[in-house]
């Protein structure tokens, strides 16, 4: 396929992409919208880096739903190897074939066949699909070893996987590739050069409020604003792990479950474990600090309405 030709069902402008993602309840920042649009147009992998909880993984999920494509997810972890990520041979079946045919009766070509090949996510993503090229999510690449990064270079450059015993399998149509990293370590430049790059930051107050209205519509407007303003102040508090967007949504939904229409210090303290996941952070915020933040939030909301 000519890389200059966009796929027929991808949005034709940045604005249309932004609107269609919003219709799927994902609010794109302007920079992310441009990066994603260009990655689709140029058929290049998109490398998304940022803190955990800012919505990187959700980009791939939402895009797959928008385009009606299958989502193939490769969750990375320390020790991830080719057998788990790309392919492996069905050795049990091969042994059965050897036993059935008799020792020495089968050649390597008889054993290393497509029928004996077990496809893992990377190889699966190269296969033709009636729904169109799938969305391949390589999630949290920074958790994998550097050796695995090197293996990805062939796939990201040439859209193919070379299997020594079998040959090279090429993609008829390149998959849409989203790679995410929480930046717990640096990813090698050789891999980044094959991608378009975007740093995903926490959303602005306005964008996060729009996200919350879509994801937790049952929350009253004042409560939603109070939640978002409180969370934004926590992100400026130099915590060990600041709350992400998912925690914002969880907290709003939890408060609704408690029939809360406005947060008071006692409710903030009792539900802080929904927002924060480390005891040192919780101990630092609950009590006087949470009450102080709530007072600031209330003053901001009152000033905004009277200003």
Q: pLDDT > 70: what percent of the chain? A: 95
Say yes or no to pLDDT of 1 above 50.
Answer: no
> Which of 175, 190, 172 lies closest to 63 in space, CA to CA?
175
Say yes or no to pLDDT of 21 above 60.
Answer: yes
More confident residue, 107 or 288: 288
> Which of 152, 159, 144 lies closest to 191 in space, CA to CA?
152
pLDDT at 307: 53
Tokens of 270: 């009792």
**Domain spans of the chain?**
14-199, 205-297
Contact 122, 155 (CB under 8 A): yes
Strands 135-139 and 87-89: unpaired
Query: In whole angstroms, what is the distance from residue 208 CA to residue 109 CA?
Result: 56
CATH class, 14-199 region: alpha beta
Overall average pLDDT of the 205-209 stretch:
96
pLDDT at 3: 45
Given strand 71-75, what is the order of strands in its sheet?
Answer: 71-75, 135-139, 176-181, 46-49, 196-199
Confidence at 306, pLDDT banded by 50, 70, 90: low
| pLDDT tens digits, one per residue of 273-293 | 999 999 999 999 999 999 999
> Which of 161, 196, 149 lies closest to 3 in space, CA to CA?
196
Query: In whole angstroms, what is the distance from residue 281 CA to residue 188 CA?
Result: 32
Overall average pLDDT of the 48-77 stretch:
96
pTM over 0.85: yes
Say yes or no to pLDDT of 258 above 60.
Answer: yes
| pLDDT tens digits, one per residue of 141-157 | 999 999 999 999 999 99
Query: In whole angstroms, what is the distance from residue 133 CA to residue 299 CA?
Result: 51
| pLDDT tens digits, one per residue of 160-183 | 999 999 999 999 899 999 999 999
pLDDT at 112: 85
Overall average pLDDT of the 88-97 stretch:
88
| pLDDT tens digits, one per residue of 215-232 | 999 999 999 999 999 999
């Amino acid at each position: 396929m000519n890389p200059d030709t966009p796929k027929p069902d991808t949005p034709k402008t940045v604005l249309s992409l932004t609107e269609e993602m919003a219709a799927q309840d994902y609010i794109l920042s302007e920079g992310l919208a441009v990066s994603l649009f260009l990655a689709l147009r140029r058929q290049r992998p998109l490398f998304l880096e940022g803190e955990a909880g800012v919505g990187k993984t959700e980009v791939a999920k939402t895009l797959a739903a928008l385009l009606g494509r299958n989502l193939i997810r490769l969750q990375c972890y320390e020790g991830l190897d080719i057998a788990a990520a790309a392919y492996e041979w069905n050795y049990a079946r091969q042994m059965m074939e050897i036993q059935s045919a008799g020792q020495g009766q089968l050649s390597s070509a008889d054993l290393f066949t497509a029928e004996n090949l077990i496809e893992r996510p990377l190889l699966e993503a190269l296969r033709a699909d009636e729904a169109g090229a799938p969305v391949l999510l390589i999630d949290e690449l920074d958790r994998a070893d550097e050796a695995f990064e090197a293996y990805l270079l062939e796939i990201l450059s040439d859209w193919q996987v070379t299997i020594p015993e079998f040959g090279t399998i090429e993609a008829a149509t390149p998959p849409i590739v989203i790679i995410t990293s929480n930046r717990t370590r640096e990813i090698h430049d050789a891999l980044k050069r094959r991608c378009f790059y975007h740093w995903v930051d926490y959303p602005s107050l306005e964008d996060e409020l729009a996200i919350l209205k879509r994801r937790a519509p049952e929350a009253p407007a004042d409560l939603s604003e109070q939640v978002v303003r409180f969370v934004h102040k926590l992100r400026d508090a130099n915590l060990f792990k600041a709350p992400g967007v998912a925690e914002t949504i969880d907290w709003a939904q939890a408060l609704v479950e408690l029939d809360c229409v406005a947060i008071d210090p006692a409710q903030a303290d009792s539900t802080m474990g929904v927002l924060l996941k480390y005891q040192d952070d919780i101990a630092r915020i609950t009590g006087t600090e949470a009450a102080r933040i709530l007072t600031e939030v209330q003053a901001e909301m009152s000033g905004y309405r009277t200003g």
